[in-house]
Each structure stands twice: as C-alpha cells, then as structure tokens.
Amino acid sequence: MEALPEAKAADNLYVGGRVVLPGFVDSHTHLVHAASRAEEYELKIAGASYEEIARNGGGILNSVKKLRAATSEALKKRALAALREFAANGTTTLEAKSGYGLDVTSELKILNLHQELLREQPLEIVSTFLGAHVVPTEYRGTPRGPQHYVSMLIHRLIPEVAERKLAEFCDVFCDRGAFSRAQSEQVLEAGERHGLAPRIHAEQLTRTGAAQLGMQLGAASCDHLEQVNHADIRALGKSRTVATLMPGCDFHLGLKQYAPARSLIDGGAIVSLATDYNPGTSPTLNMPMILSLACTQLRMTPAEAIAAATINGAYALRRDKDIGSLEVGKRGDVAIFDVEDYREIPYYFGVNKCWMTIKDGEIVHGGSPYRM
Ligand code: NIG
Ligand code: FE
C-alpha cells in the first residue's frame, strides 16, 4: 500500500494495536419498516408460534398495516437511526428489501427510500424488491386472489421497479403461508427477464424445495436454510449460489433448529452470515452478535464467521471485486475493534467492541484517532 502513489496524500491513523477488519457486509436486511412488533414478542414467549401469530393477522401483515399508514419522512427517520447503528457495529454495506408495502404505492415508497438513503448517508445500500413477501389482505378473499397478486407483481410492479432502476435483486419468501415453489419461480423468472437477479428466502419454517429452485435459477443466494435436507446440502456444496445463514431469527423466535452450518461448510458451500434485521424474526442489526451466535450455535470458527460476514456477504451481493476484504484496489471499508485478538469479537457478546468504522476512506463512526 505504502508504495502506491495515492498513499502520499493519505492520512496515517494510529489505532493502538486494535484489530482491523474489512467492514461487515450484511447481505440480508428488511431495513425499512415502520415500527417494532414488541406486542407479538410476549405472545411468542407465551408459546405462540410465528405462523400462529401470522394466521391471526399479526406477523408480516401487521408490519404492512403499519408501513402503509406511515409517512415517508417517518420511515426515513427510523431507517437513518438504524443506519447509524449499523455503522456503529462495524457494517459498511447492507442489502435492504422492500416487502412491507405489498401494493404499488407502498412498495415504490420503500424502494424510493432506499435510493434516497443511499444518496444521503455514507453506508452502501443494495436494493432488493420483495413484493412477494406474503399475499396482502386485499387479495386473500377468493381462491384465485393469490394468483392475481402474483400476476400484478409480474405484469405491473416488476416492470416498473426495473424501469425506474429501483432494485438490483428480486427476492421471494417461499414457504408455507407465503408463496409456493411454482409461484416463486414465476416471480423470480419475471424479475430476471427485467434484469433483477434472483435471491430467495428458502427452507426457513418448512422445506418447500426453494433452495433447489434458487440454485436452478442461478440465484445469488438462498437464505435461512434451517430445514434443508441432505440432498440440498450436497447441491449447495457444489453450487455458486451462496448459503446465507441468519441465526438471529432462531435465537429471537426461540427455535432449537439452527441451519446446519458445519455440514454446509464441510460440504463446500459458500456460507455467508447476515442479521436479517426485521421487526418479526430478527430485531437486531448487530453483526458481532450474529458472529457470537454463529460460533456458539452453528459451530463455526471465529475465522469462518468473519469471512462469512465480510467477503462471502460481498459475494452474495455480487460485489466481491469491490468490497469484503482489505486489498489493494478495493474500497477503504474498514471496521476496527477494541480487542487484542480477532477471536474476541465473537467471544464477547452483547457488548459493542467496534471502536471505529470507515466507509470509502471516511470515518463514519468512532472517536478521534491520533493522526501521524
Ligand atoms: O426473513 N421470512 C420472511 N421474512 C422475514 C420475516 C419478516 C417479518 O416477520 O416481518 C425473515 O425472517
Ligand atoms: Fe428476510
């Protein structure tokens, strides 16, 4: 680095022997939402399952109701506060999904916000269209309703989102209570025809064959994967589709079955880790906490977990040439931790050891360093 001509103009920061990592790349978040669902938290603790709560009008539809009623300004204020917290925990790039709007106006409201937020604050935001999150209430009255919603996504929203360049990826929640494998295929293929690369919520609550569908379509990533079987694990081991694991969901929902990270890694899969920041299953944006869960619950080593949350997350967002590692030619995206050994980053949990975050060479979080 020092030998490069550009280095002459650079500042030297003295970081006092702390641990320096590439900034985290959080490849799965539902950044824009209107409010928490703390009211459902108590129901969950009392024993209600995520699906039961959803069947009784809670769950994603609860967040849809709140988002539709919220102004763009209020949503923006909440997202900006979250983005500052992402930066404070060492994240420099995050993916953000729509999916709490589920009608033309509200989905466009979220996707437009992604673009505004990208322009107005330092972190990099990668936008994903998730119109196929669940079937909205107004399409639930008749047996043909869900298919009409899928048609609306394919013929109306996806073309408009692509035309206005509001998203880079198209995602589907393929699960019981959401979209079938056949519907997911239709939506993701329509996305592809319009230049939106596929990714998929797969095998979270039940096994639907979503992971196999994702790989068949060349998806950038299959996310969740708690319910995969041996054939899925073998296929992911041979595939370039990333296996994105989000242990924050299982932790928050109190589920015992975490994704089989060890078999996936040992079988050759590209495993990444993400927070899945969202109000229903994973209300956290703290990547170091996800690393702690990955080590203790998924049996990943600290080194595997850090690679999963940096370079493999970048690969899942098709930005591995640009971010995710500290190399000449890549962006200056850096997270510095106040620990003596990188293993202490997951080892300490529930405390923030991130001392400074740098995005594109600019300090976006942290104290005033000693400049040499
Ligand atoms: O990734 N599974 C679907 N989507 C989210 C949950 C969204 C919600 O409950 O609000 C997830 O877990
Ligand atoms: Fe999600």
Q: Do 92 and 124 contact (CB within 8 A), yes or no? A: yes
Q: Model confidence over 360-372: pLDDT tens digits?
A: 999 999 976 666 5
Going by alpha carbons, the residue nearest to atom 8 of ligand 1 is 280
Only one residue has tokens 């400074």, namely 356
Which helix (H) or strand (E) is 130 found in, with range? strand 124-132
Which two three-digit tokens encode residue 107? 């989905």
CA–centroid distance, 319 to ligand 2, in Å, is 20
State whether residue 94 is helix, strand or coil.
strand
Going by alpha carbons, the residue nearest to atom 12 of ligand 1 is 281
Which ligand sits nearest to residue 128's alpha carbon? 2
Give the Cβ contact number of residue 4 at 10 Å: 10
Q: Model confidence over 84-143: pLDDT tens digits?
A: 999 999 999 999 999 999 999 999 999 999 999 999 999 999 999 999 999 999 999 999
State whether residue 92 is helix, strand or coil.
strand
The closest alpha carbon to 85, from 309, 365, 278, belongs to: 365
29, 46, 60, 63, 68 from 74: Cα distances, Å: 19, 31, 19, 14, 11
State whether residue 354 is helix, strand or coil.
strand
Going by alpha carbons, the residue nearest to atom 9 of ligand 1 is 280
CA–centroid distance, 64 to ligand 1, in Å, is 12
In SS3 terms, 233-281 reads as: HHHHHHCCCEEEECHHHHHHHCCCCCCCHHHHHHCCCCEEECCCCECCC
85, 277, 281 from 252: Cα distances, Å: 19, 11, 6
Which ligand sits nearest to residue 278's alpha carbon? 1
What pLDDT, on the 0 to 100 scale, is given for residue 162? Answer: 98
Which two three-digit tokens encode residue 330? 């890549």
CA–centroid distance, 12 to ligand 2, in Å, is 39
What pLDDT, on the 0 to 100 scale, is given for residue 369? Answer: 63
The closest alpha carbon to 113, from 37, 221, 24, 34, belongs to: 34
- What is the value of pTM for the model shown? 0.97
Q: Which residue from 128, 200, 201 has its CB within 8 A of the most atoms of ligand 1, so it is best to mutate?
A: 201
Q: Which residue from 28, 55, 175, 278 has its CB within 8 A of the most atoms of ligand 1, so it is best to mutate?
A: 278
The whole-number mean pLDDT for each consecutive block of 10 residues of the chain, a chain of 372 residues, reads: 86 91 99 97 94 93 98 98 98 98 98 98 98 98 97 98 98 98 98 98 98 98 98 98 98 97 98 98 98 98 98 98 96 97 97 96 84 57
What pLDDT, on the 0 to 100 scale, is given for residue 304? Answer: 98
What pLDDT, on the 0 to 100 scale, is given for residue 100? Answer: 98
